[in-house]
Amino acid sequence: MPAGQSTRASNLNIERLKAQFGEMCRIREFERAAITASTEKLVLGAIHPSIGQEAVAVGVCGNLKRDDIILSTHRGHGHTMAKGADALAMMRELFGRAGGTSGGKGGSMHIADFSVGMLGANGVVAANINIAAGAAHAIKLKGEDKVVVCFFGDGAINRGPFLEGLNWAGVFKLPIVFVCEDNGFAATTRTHAMTAGGGPAARAESIGIKAEIVDGNDVVAVDEIARSLIEEARRGTPRFLLANTYRLTGHTSADPAPYRAEEEVQERWLNDPIETVRNALVRAGVAPDELDAMHRAAEAEMTQAYETAKATEWPETALAFADVQDIGDPREEAF
């Protein structure tokens, strides 16, 4: 499908869509800068870009309040930024520098900002699902008006916590929306080749959690469906969203992804969610110049974040010993 055809032209809330476009551009440019930094060995650990998946992060998180909660995966930059985390602090975290969201202790794979309700990206596939269920459980116990969104990839549905966490949410009627991003791959393997049965939505339904399927490259569609699922979840009905999308880069920034044909990727770029939303806005009468300016502003912001992060000092080494646990002094046990 050529870019721009999937977002319905009528009834568009132009201001909201522009904001979504801007946010998607920010995520894209953040990750572009991060990939550059990774190539330059300024970002040291693996990074997993979400280029091509920005519409899911923005469409879902746009319906959350600041104290609502999200949890994410190794591919969590987009979700974290869409939830409102500071891009510079995130960039510093990727660079392992002082002032990073986790003080440089987590890096890309554990990006987290508790101040905006982002309880962490997780390096263990599917592990966030149970933790998310627990966060929703606590909300219910405390009688709070909050909701949890748990993002995970299509690969996560083949691990036990998928079954366990969804069952838990169903049993306890928790305020949670599970968002499965099917980007086609689990690392270098096509997930469908490794998944028996009807896939993520069918599995959710089998546990009694009603599932919706959405074009994850269409931010308007994601926004709409996420809004209604989040509302239902707030009332204590856990819901499931399968967002079909595509990972436009390799699994990590260092992965050239030779396991897929060049033509496949080129064709998928024609369905770039950012281009799609841009075309929709232009069709709705927004001046292309205005949109280009927004995109350039995002680029400038992230270039600045890159430069600032690069110039930021490392964390003090004494901090290696901080936040292990209250009890005992790890220094005494060393060496």
Ligand X SMILES: Cc1ncc(C[n+]2csc(CCOP(=O)(O)OP(=O)(O)O)c2C)c(N)n1
| Positions that interact with ligand X (CB under 6 A) | 73-75, 123-125, 152-156, 183, 185-187, 191, 247, 251
Which lies closer to ligand X via its Cβ, residue 52 or residue 96? 52
Indicate which single residue of 133, 186, 286, 294 sits in contact with other proteins (rule: CB under 8 A): 133
Restricting to residues 274-333, name those near other proteins by CB under 8 A.
322-328, 330
Query: H helices of 40-112, where?
Result: 54-61, 77-82, 87-95
**Which one of the spans 34-42, 165-173, 178-186, 283-291 is the region binding other proteins (CB under 8 A)?**
165-173
Residue carrying structure tokens 């959710």? 204
Residue 7 binds what, of ligand X, other proteins, none (CB under 5 to 8 Å, by partner type)? none
Torsion-angle region of residue 149: left (phi > 0), alpha (psi -120 to 50) or beta? beta
Q: What angle do CA 66, 70, 73 make, to 5 degrees?
A: 145
Residue 155 binds what, of other proteins, ligand X, none (CB under 5 to 8 Å, by partner type)? ligand X
Q: Which two tokens stand for residue 42?
A: 């300024």
- Least distance (Å) from other proteins to the CB of residue 98? 10
**Residue 206 contacts residue 44 (beta carbons within 8 Å):** no
- Least distance (Å) from ligand X to the CB of residue 190? 10
Q: Which two tokens stand for residue 161?
A: 């916590």
**Which one of the spans 14-22, 106-114, 252-260, 263-271 is the region binding other proteins (CB under 8 A)?**
106-114
Q: Is 119 in the site for other proteins (CB under 8 A)?
A: yes
Q: Is 132 in the site for other proteins (CB under 8 A)?
A: yes
**Residue 248 contacts residue 260 (beta carbons within 8 Å):** no
Residue 322 binds what, of other proteins, ligand X, none (CB under 5 to 8 Å, by partner type)? other proteins
Q: Is 179 in the site for other proteins (CB under 8 A)?
A: no
Rg, the chain, Cα only: 20
Which lies closer to other proteins via its Cβ, residue 168 or residue 185? 168
Max Cα separation, the chain? 67
Indicate which single residue of 7, 50, 101, 195 sits in contact with other proteins (rule: CB under 8 A): 101
Neighbours of 34 (CB within 10 A): 25
Say how far apart CA 274 and CA 79 lie, in whole Å. 16
Q: Is 50 in the site for other proteins (CB under 8 A)?
A: no
Size of the site for other proteins (CB under 8 A): 48
Q: Torsion over CA of 31, 32, 35 and 39, rounded to 10 degrees?
A: -160
Q: Is 102 in the site for other proteins (CB under 8 A)?
A: yes
Q: Which residue, judged by CB position, is nearest to ligand X in the bound state?
A: 153
Q: DSSP characters for 111-147? A: --BGGGTEEEEESSTTHHHHHHHHHHHHHHHHT----
Indicate which single residue of 10, 15, 66, 142 sits in contact with other proteins (rule: CB under 8 A): 142
Angle between helices 160-172 and 127-142 (to 10 degrees): 10
The residue length of the chain stands at: 335
- Least distance (Å) from other proteins to the CB of residue 149? 13
Chain residues that interact with other proteins, rule: CB under 8 A: 69, 71, 100-106, 110, 112-115, 119-120, 122-124, 127, 129-139, 141-142, 160-161, 164-165, 167-168, 171, 322-328, 330
